[in-house]
Amino acid sequence: MQRIVWAALLLATAALGAAVAARAQQPATPFVGILDEHPAIEYAQRPTHDRVTGLARALADGTVSLTYQENGGYLQSVLDRLRVPADSQVLVFSKTGIQRASTSPHNPRALYFDDAVVFGYIAGAPLLELAAHDPEQGMVFYTLDQTVKDKPQLVRRTNCLTCHVSASTLEVPGMINRNVFARADGSVVPQLGGNDVTHRTPLLQRWGGM
């Protein structure tokens, strides 16, 4: 009887090993679709835990508020709430953002940032643009309406991925730093090309250099 039991166990083990080996040899089914929709990411469905989400929740439940100013709208209040230094400001003169109609060399987009948050302000534009690094989802994008409201609301935007998921971002949601040629009004001249700026880009090719 003992020999029969051992023989059965050996046969079961061998069968299991064969099944595992056969499964391992089967090619993985390729994911057809946009990478951020992959089941391992589910960018638009999973909850976020970044700093902007934290501020959005606090605004929604009324534990914090934002102060609107005639000069800058909610800019200074958002800087304070997100603890982003005002002296981090970088100016973008080209028409390369979602509010490109409001941007020009005479009215640039001001970017403020730290290691996890970046947001853009354009004088006279209807929105503040925000992006934050989420520990699970990567870069998450938001806007804030620049009009006086009792309860201003931060809105998550997935339409930003039209530009912010590309070869420049390695096909996942991310930031874009790119040199472009622009006309005197700030509109881009795509025929003249451009280049992505990364940590490998020589210094002479950064900040508008080609």
Give the residue numbers spanning the domain of 124.
36-156
209 is a domain residue = no
pTM, 2 dp: 0.75
Tokens of 207: 């900040």
Query: What is the number of helices (H) and of strands (E) in the chain?
Result: 4, 8
Mean pLDDT of 106-129: 95
Confidence band of 36 (pLDDT split at 50, 70, 90): low
Mean pLDDT of 154-168: 77
Number of independent structural domains in the chain: 1
- What is the predicted pLDDT for the residue at 152? 94
In a domain, 56, yes or no: yes
Residue 98 lies in a domain: yes
Please, are residues 95 and 104 in contact by the beta-carbon 8 Å criterion?
Answer: yes
Asked if the structure places residue 91 within a domain, the reply is: yes
